[in-house]
Structure 1
Amino acid sequence: MSFLDQLNAWLAEPNRWSWTDKAGVPYRTLEHLRFSLLALAIAALLTIPAALWLAHYRRGAFLASSAVNIGRAIPSFGLIILFWFLASRWELDTTFWPLLLALVALAMPPLFTNTYAGVVTLEQETVDAARGTGFREWQIMLRLELPLASPVILAGARVAFLQLIATVAIGAIVNDGGGLGRYIVDGFAVGAQGYGAIFAGGLAAVVLALLCDGAFALITRAATPRGLALQNARRD
């Protein structure tokens, strides 16, 4: 059977477009997004408040720079295997926790560094003016620094989320999850007869990443304060 025949046969399977069957592309796409969004949300809760506080008081510069290097050095597959091994030893659910913990660990460095950088690069005169008008420190952080740094923070979230989309697919190697990566792993398992599934799974993951990237661009544009957006437009 030729590659095109394999691909057509794979696409034509009756359960391929099911929202409830594990073989369905919609089902696996939602699974892919669910893991990615959950990991991003947990990583944001763990890093953004801490980075915002440290940046406001100009502390933790070494921690921020270290997070950059750690984020570049962490091997995605190695993390998944490590957490899978630990979950197996502790008799935890290996179909969920290893992949989720690995994803959270991967998303934390860009979120932390971008939040920190977004706050410390703000003009100090603006912060001092807010303090002079009677704003308390927590009000400055939440009402001034966080909104003004939001484009940089969202840029970090964008990088982190695309990395998560790519990494979720690897998770199919160690469990039944893995979203769209399940098709790639299953395709390799059957050898030459699985080229159609491998191509379809890879293409679906790429399309999903491009759509998510476009969605983050729109979110960033909508979340950027109007005055800051006009200022950036004038600079351009």
Structure 2
Amino acid sequence: MNLAEITAWFTDPAQWSGADGIPNRLTEHLVYTAITLLVGLVIAIPLGAWVGHTGRLRWLVTGANALRAVPSLGLLFAVSMLVGPLIQSDLAFVIPSIVVLVLLAVPPLLSGVYAGIDSVDPAARDAARGMGMTGWQVLTRVELPCALPLALSGFRSATLQVIATATIAASVSLGGLGRYLIDGLASRDYVQMVCGSILVAALALVADLLLAALERYAVSPGISGRSARVARSRSSRTGAASRPAPGDPARSISPAGTST
């Protein structure tokens, strides 16, 4: 296997059409990822916001993080064996895969939301309550906006983990980019396996770059610290421009005739 074989695989027109083509497999992978993240957000945002706001049941966050230690492939087979016989359709493969991916996506999402709210300056909460805000208003207008950087960081982590782990769904007859790995391993087509790995890595990289851009423009400059950095940069440039260089005629002259 060499670069020429990998290039030939990607440039083969057969790889860009049909049910086994890259566009269709990529679409399937994105659909699984989107469904998983949507379900994970529905679970993690309310739960993380409640735990962070009230300070109760913090052990839920620790317990959720413990799920990361569970082997993904073993969990997938276990759930498939339990759920599969109960469903007489293709959903027998889809539901177990989504359940496992959601279990992996919830911990970083939950931790990000909880940590972001828990790290809010208590003085900001006291000021909001002093203005007459209710608990709900404090949560939605103060805590959640301040928690956005850490929440988005958790979302980025969850997205990358789901994109990478969704490849194992092909082991239970599901689609997605993982088909290139599973089918390539079954037929000993190592070029197909390498190209599938490249596609998964490229998808994860593009997703991370897009989410990094979203994080940059969605978070308020005052919260992210960009406004302070810009102000310091402008101040330093202005100060450097206003100080005359040594030997500059613009330097002030003291009444005694000596330069200052």
TM-score of the superposition, structure 1-length normalised? 0.89
**Change in CA separation of 1:43 and 1:232 when aligned onto 2, cut-off 3 Å:** farther
CA offsets per residue over residues 174-232 of structure 1, 9 Å max, x none? Answer: 1131x1111111111112xx111111101111111111111111111122112112368
Q: Which runs of 5+ in 1 are unaligned?
A: none
Question: How far did residue 49 of structure 1 move?
Answer: 0.8
How far off is 1:233 after superposition?
Answer: 5.3
Alpha-carbon shift at residue 150 of structure 1 (Å): 0.7
Are positions 1:131 and 2:136 aligned together? no
Classify the secondary structure of the residue corresponding to 1:16. helix
Matches of 2:113 and 2:142 in 1, distance apart?
A: 13
Residue 41 of structure 2: aligned partner: 44
Aligned equivalent of 1:187? 184
- Report the residue type matching 1:16 in the other structure: Q
- Deviations 1:17-64, CA, capped at 9 Å, x for gaps: 13xx22111111111111111101111111111110121111122222
Confirm or deny: 8 A CA contact 2:221 2:227 kept in the other structure. Answer: no
* Partner secondary structure for residue 56 of structure 1: helix
Give the counterpart of 2:143 among 142, 145, 148.
145
SS in 1 for 2:51: helix
Match of 1:156 in 2: 154
1:226 aligns with 2:217: no
Could you tell me which residue of structure 2 aligns to residue 112 of structure 1?
110
Question: Structure 1: how far apart are the matches of 2:14 and 2:145?
Answer: 45
Does residue 207 of structure 2 align to residue 212 of structure 1? yes
Count the aligned residue pairs.
229
1:43 maps to amino acid: G
Query: In structure 2, what residue type is equivalent to 1:48?
Result: I
Which residue number corresponds to residue 165 of structure 2?
A: 167
Deviation digits for residues 88-120 of structure 1 (CA, Å, limit 9, x no counterpart): 221252231111111111111111122111111
Which of 53, 57, 62 matches 1:60?
A: 57
> Whose radius of gyration is greater, 1 or 2?
2
1:74 pairs with 62, 65, 70, which one?
A: 70
- Which TM-score applies when normalising by structure 2? 0.82
Structure 1 residue 198 corresponds to structure 2 residue 196: no
Matched residue, 1:26: 23
For structure 2, list consecutive stretches of 5 or more residues without a partner in the other structure.
Answer: 233-260
**What secondary structure, in the 3-state scheme, does the structure 1 residue paired with 2:16 have?**
coil
Cα distance in 1 for residues equivalent to 2:57 and 2:218: 27
Question: Hey, what's the Cα distance between the residues in 2 that align with 1:36 and 1:233?
Answer: 36
CA 1:113–1:4: 2 relative to 1, 3 Å = closer
The whole-number CA distance in structure 2 between the counterparts of 1:135 and 1:176 is 49
Kept in 2, the 8 Å contact 1:71–1:110? The answer is no
1:91 matches 2:81:
no
Deviation per residue, 1:117-137 (Å, 9 max, x gap): 111111011011011111111
The structural deviation recorded for 1:65 is 2.3
Amino-acid identity (%):
38
